[in-house]
Structure 1
Amino acid sequence: MIFSSTINTFADTPEPSNNIDYPVGWQMWSAIAVSHRTDNNTSRVILGNSIAVEAARTGKINPWPDGAILGKIVWKDKQLKNWKAATGPGELVHAEFMFRDSKKYSKTYGWGWARWLGLSQKPFNDGGKSCISCHTPVKDRDWTFTDPAAFPTLK
């Protein structure tokens, strides 16, 4: 797979993860939130498809609507060369996604869980077990950690 930064697409679509197709075009989705994990020094941007963004902006996230896709793009923190008080994205760790379909994924709490590793976007396949295990503490929040960031609305 070759990633072209000029057109922001893959020459070849990565293989499915956990029997879920790669969400082509996620690089063009809108941001919903950001987070930083201090335990493993990673930064994340949480993106959403149009359904997820609309739900986030209107507060309709518990439960998230069917058709919503949340993407969490994770980088190792890197000290910024010209701004010593800040870190920024370093090595890409993975891109992981939650696909909301309460019927299709009823056995996995209404979500399809998928992850692709590194710049090559190699699929990670464990049936979503590691994702579900990690997200169990937020099962009462529709299995999501994300608190959507406030964005100004213009009238």
Structure 2
Amino acid sequence: MKRTIFMTIAIAIAAFGFVRYISGQANSVADVTLPPDYREWKLISVAHEGGNLHDLRAILGNDAAYRAARDKTLPFPNGSIIARVAWKYTPSEENNKVFGREQSFVPGSSTNVQLMIKDSNKYASTGGWRFVQFNDGKRAEEEVHKTCFSCHEPVKARDFVFTRYAP
């Protein structure tokens, strides 16, 4: 009797783990850390995001991601990591005094850092990418990461990457 109960519990635990794995929940961000050298990566592009976000962004890539973006290689190779660093879009009072009007904007306070990590086998359920966000250097809650892939689906033809290399 004890053995039957034990086996039933073991099967239930294994089934739960398998369901989590195939649903993509096994791809937890708990094991992802912010690479210490990401600010040294090469610049792929910059952007200003309007609307509610109203920020300035630098899109950086490790060597694999930078080469793929520069050479327009799709899909990005496994091991590619793209970092998006964002700051509040802030008028520069100092610069605007020189210009005599408000026309100069600079990065203000940091908002967050987002990573896209390419492993087409491990993250197959999200187009081969793992999406992770850091706020003040700390990984955001798991719920934040579950919304990323749906935003990137419209650019599936570009391997889910919005940014294009800016020479």
* Band the TM-score falls in, shorter-chain normalisation: 0.7 to 0.9
- TM-score normalised according to structure 2 size: 0.73
Please give the residue correspondences for 1:120-135 in structure 2 after superposition, counting only pairs within 5 Å. Answer: 121-126=137-142, 128-135=145-152
Q: What is the CA distance between 1:83 and its match in structure 2?
A: 2.2
5+ residue gaps, structure 1, are 1-15, 151-155
Could you tell me how far apart the structure 1 residues matched to 2:158 and 2:69 are? 13
Q: Of the candidates 133, 136, 147, which is equivalent to residue 115 of structure 1?
A: 133
2:111 corresponds to which letter in structure 1? V
* Greater helix share, structure number: 2
* Greater strand share, structure number: 1
Could you tell me how far apart the structure 2 residues matched to 1:145 and 1:59 are? 13
Partner SS state of residue 143, structure 1: coil
5+ residue gaps, structure 2, are 1-27, 97-102
Query: Contact 1:67/1:100 (CA < 8 Å) preserved in 2?
Result: yes
**1:45–1:109 Cα change, 3 Å:** same
Query: Contact 2:33/2:139 (CA < 8 Å) preserved in 1?
Result: no
Please give the residue correspondences for 1:1-155 in structure 2 after superposition, counting only pairs within 5 Å. Answer: 17-39=29-51, 40-60=53-73, 62-84=74-96, 85-118=103-136, 121-126=137-142, 128-150=145-167
- TM-score normalised according to structure 1 size: 0.79
Bigger shift: residues 80-89 or 26-35: 80-89
Q: What is the CA distance between 1:53 and its match in structure 2?
A: 1.1
Could you tell me how far apart the structure 1 residues matched to 2:104 and 2:83 are? 24
RMSD of aligned residue pairs (Cα, Å): 1.6
Could you tell me how far apart the structure 2 residues matched to 1:31 and 1:112 are? 20
